[in-house]
Structure 1
Amino acid sequence: MEAVVGLLLMLLGVSHGVETYCDGRQDGAQCYGALGGTVVLQLMDSASEITKYTLTFNKIRILSGRMNNVSESLIANRSFFTPSNGTFRINNLSRNDGGEYTLETFDSRGQRSEQRTLQLFIQAPVSSVRLVSECLSQGEMRVSCSSEGGDSPQYSWTLDGHALTDAELLSGNHEPNNIILKQHVSGRLGCSVRTQVSRVSKEENIINCGFIFINCTSNGKHISQWVFAATNTLCIEPTTAPTTVTEMDLSTVGVDTYCDGRQDGAQCYGALGGTVVLQLMDSASEIYRYQLKINTTVILRGKQNTIVSDLIENRSFFTPSNGTFRINNLSRNDSGEYTLDIFDFRGQRSEQRTLQLFIQAPVSAIQLVSECLSQRMMRVSCSSEGGDSPQYSWTLDGHTLTDAELLCGNHETNNIILKQHVSGRLGCSVRNHVSSVSKQETISTCKDHSLLICGLQFAVAVLAVIGIVVFFHLKKKKNMRAEVPASPRAMEYSENSFSVVEMRSTSDQ
């Protein structure tokens, strides 16, 4: 019965719009009315003792009266003044009703005894709220809150009924429409959107982005029982700060993912060999009968908090209190269309929802290979082992690569060419819907070998010229020694030759 009354009140609220109240007895009051709704302006305590009064809207008189008698009202069929309590009611508000309202009162002599003004602002009310969550690379969760309608909306967040704290928020505060939650945060997350004339909120159960236990090796040392985030490449020891893992035993990893399947047509992802948690409903305690099928095979039946049958042997578990269905040790065969049917006490199907589950192999390891090109440019390739439908992203010293650093390609491909001046800590991240792995390496600019090449070319040319000069010099010297003298007296002889000439001169005497 209470549910029926609540539904009727909700329908009446929708059909008649939002009603707001404002005390305009103070000069300069600011009042708000909902578009399509009703505003009640408290102009005075009572008109029974006021000789004459007028109400103008943007200098146009819309109401006049004497004591308990209203003589004029120009907002036809939409306004009503109650002299006994001094309230002025305007229905079916439009944007044109916003502006300055001025009340003037007069005494018995016709002299103005008081003048007050108020500003009326018309706002569209918030109609609905939507929450969208996304796991990030370090195991954090980004959650956005969007609303339909509503002028100048303001946002606030709660977790299990209390306002979010700095211990739960990675960045921002609990008042923007986008927040980032730290790795350990889970529970009943709520977003409230409000304006001056309305307030709408929505809550959803969130699960942290898949922390599990693995064995890993860090810097050559084997470490066990560290916590691993499903979307992270870090082993995180509970008592110390995160440490980068150089090698990882991925055979021990089981990735835990979560998907909200309460919306018809939801797309969910699970990691091969891991676990997926499907949010099928808020709670089964008030559902008379339900069943879950994969493709055409019924795998789960139940009534309220009692599970009748569960056909995925030793690998699944349904929790009626929170409506989650957990499947462990996922295989490719677990992918497909899951259909939830809900029945009322008469056996009639009251609701049907489907979701698509896709099983992906997680990314396991990354290798970076760099190569210097001509003009001091560098080609870098990023390759990963395993992982279905991998997506790539690049960073340099923590920021996304820009066009000023890239010669060609973009920061979302697995092969890039860096410009000449680029150096620093280059990182490549490979991700899919169930995992993310990253690797960083320090790179230096490629050396310019053009001067060395030019120097070598010059040295070779100089040596070639010297060789040619020496060759022709030796050849000329050899030719000079091979010439025969025409007359002994015309030649310059050596010491032995001169002795021969002396002997001939003695014989002649």
Structure 2
Amino acid sequence: MSALIGLVLVLAAVSYGSSSSCNATGNKTLTQCYGAVGQPLFIYLITNPSGYTLILKNNITGTVFTHRNNISRFYGTFANHSIFYPNGTVQLTKAEKMHSGKYLFEIYRGSAGQFLQARTVDLFIKVPVSAPTLSQLCLPHGETRVSCSAEGDNPQYSWTLGNRPLHAGVAYLSNDSHTVILKKSVSGALTCTACNLISSQNITQELITCPGLGAPVICVLPNKTEIQVRMNASLDAISLLSNTEIFFSLGENEISSAICHIQPHSPQGGVNGNFTLLAVAVGAIILLMALSLAIYCLYKKKNSPTEPDGRIDDTQELVYAQVTVAKKRSQIGRKKEAEPEVVYGQVKV
């Protein structure tokens, strides 16, 4: 008979797909049961209900199940989609969140109602986790940020790389378990497992290679302030951002935009940086020329002749030259040639 009952339970589980079960038998005063939304849930209350009166009460809605004189009845949230099996098992054919709560299970001897035992059953119906998804993002210095997400009630995440748990040697670990940052040059198959109290799912992906960031592109904010925007080095940032308006968040609610120029921004500062270097070079040359001229003038001053009283002799040297003036000879008769007249003139050098 027990084998037949077990076969009935197995067939019921197969009919409704995945199922959960909970064992509230024995002398335990408190049992916690977990079920998945939309799936069957089996609650084992007593091993042999024959000769007993059974009552299951919700602490809010009241009685939801009774079994007396081999007749079972369901009430409230358990009505219309619950089954009681002869082996003392209650099945919710389709568990819903409204079934969650605290229940009191009471056992009485026979139909007379002699109280024997009471147990508490805490029932939690949760949404199972969905198949997780992975997203990979390259960071500026070659690291890879990987995020894992799944639907469901309170999913928890764990990671493995090549079937080994992540450690500080390959990743920057934090309390935020759904996101990890892998160090530069880390490669291999990364697996994310999402689970909660009633289900578990995982996904595996090969890590991408992150080349770092390419050359920056100049973008201008509405207030004319220039900013640098850099993209993954494997992308053509100039083509993608040329004369393009980009939007970004400055805070939780503040969104700003910028227009990007076509020319890439030079790491040395671009055109403005070149003009600055040229101005500094010209200024240095002018300063050197002025310094050289000052040194030359000082040298000339120190080597100029001075008077005994310390004054510089600014008189000029006189040079005398003999100048001869010849008179025109007469064509009629020649007179005795007279001595030429000597005139002295003062010539300044």
**TM superposition score normalised by structure 1:** 0.40
Question: Is 1:114 the equivalent of 2:114?
Answer: no
Report the CA distance between 1:102 and its aligned residue: 1.4
Q: 1:150 to 1:13 in 2, by over 3 A?
A: farther
Cα distance in 2, alignment partners of residues 136 and 120 from structure 1: 45
Partner SS, residue 98 of structure 2: helix
Q: Give the letter aligned to residue 65 of structure 1.
A: H
Residue 61 (structure 2) pairs with residue 80 (structure 1): no
User: Which residue type is aligned with residue 22 of structure 1?
Assistant: C
**Secondary structure in 2 aligned to 1:388?**
helix
CA-based RMSD: 4.0
- Write the distance in 1 (CA, Å) between the matches of 2:56 and 2:249: 63
Aligned AA for 1:101?
Answer: Y
Residue 14 of structure 1: how far off its partner (Å): 11
**Within 5 A, what are the aligned runs for 1:344-363?**
363=214
Q: How many angstroms does 1:29 deviate by?
A: 2.2
Q: Give the secondary-structure state (helix, strand or coil) at the position aligned to 1:112.
A: strand
**2:146 is matched with which residue?**
143
Larger RCO, structure (CA 8 Å, separation 6 or more): 2
Q: Report the counterpart of residue 65 of structure 2 in structure 1.
A: 63
TM-score by length of 2: 0.56
Q: How does 1:95-174 map to 2 (within 5 A)?
A: 95-107=97-109, 110-147=113-150, 149-172=151-174
Q: Give per-residue Cα distances to partners, 1:21-43, cap 9 Å, x unaligned.
A: 12224323222111110111122
Q: Deviations over 1:291-337 (max 9, x none)?
A: xxxxxxxxxxxxxxxxxxxxxxxxxxxxxxxxxxxxxxxxxxxxxxx
Supply the distance in 1 between the matched residues of 2:104 and 2:129 (Cα, whole angstroms).
Answer: 29
CA distance in 2, matches of 1:30, 1:439: 66
Whole-Å separation in 2 of the counterparts to 1:89 and 1:410: 56
By percentage of residues, which structure has more strand?
A: 1
CA contact (8 A) 1:172 1:180 kept: no
Deviation at 1:141, TM superposition (A): 0.5
Please state how far the C-alpha of 1:91 moved relative to its aligned partner: 0.9
CA distance in 1, matches of 2:16, 2:181: 38
* 1:441-460 correspondence runs (5 A): none
SS at 2:238 equivalent: coil
Give 1:18's aligned amino acid: S
Please name the residue that 1:200 is paired with. Answer: 201
Equivalent in the alignment of 1:40: 42
Q: Does the 8 A contact of 2:170 with 2:183 survive in 1?
A: yes
Gaps of 5+ in 1: 1-11, 210-229, 233-362, 368-377, 393-399, 404-408, 416-429, 432-436, 441-509
Work out the CA distance in 2 between the residues paired with 1:204 and 1:119.
39
- SS in structure 2 of the partner of residue 101 of structure 1: strand
Listed one character per residue, the Cα deviations across residues 463-499 of structure 1 (whole Å, up to 9, x for unaligned) are: xxxxxxxxxxxxxxxxxxxxxxxxxxxxxxxxxxxxx
Give the number of the structure whose alpha-carbon radius of gyration is greater: 2
Amino acid at match of 1:178: T
1:188 is aligned to 189
Identical counterparts, % of pairs? 30
**Residue 345 of structure 2: aligned partner:** none
Q: 1:14 to 1:112 in 2, by over 3 A?
A: closer
Are the equivalent residues in 1 in contact too, given 2:159–2:190 (CA < 8 A)? yes
CA distance in 2: counterparts of 1:119 and 1:77, whole angstroms: 22
Cα offset for 1:82?
2.5
CA contact 2:72–2:84 (8 Å) conserved in 1 = no
- TM-aligned CA distance change 1:23 to 1:438, over 3 Å: farther
Q: List per-residue Cα deviations over 1:72-107 (Å, max 9, x = no partner).
A: 2333442222242x3211111222212222110123
Counterpart AA for 1:202: I
Query: Aligned-pair distance for 1:134?
Result: 0.7
Superposed, 1:152-301 pairs within 5 Å as: 152-172=154-174, 176-209=177-210, 230-232=211-213
- Residue number in structure 1 paired with 2:238: 388
Asked whether the equivalents of residues 173 and 180 of structure 2 are also in contact (C-alpha less than 8 Å), the reply is: yes
Give 1:391 deviation, angstroms: 6.4
Q: Which runs of 5+ in 2 are unaligned?
A: 1-11, 219-223, 231-235, 243-247, 270-349
Q: Does structure 2 conserve the Cα–Cα contact (< 8 Å) formed by 1:124 and 1:150?
A: yes
* CA distance 1:78–1:439, shift in 2 (3 Å): farther
* Matches of 1:401 and 1:34, distance apart in 2: 39
Distance 1:194 1:150 in 2: 9
Deviations 1:120-174 (A, max 9, x none): 1211122322111010101000111122x3111111111111211121212425x
- 1:70 maps to amino acid: I
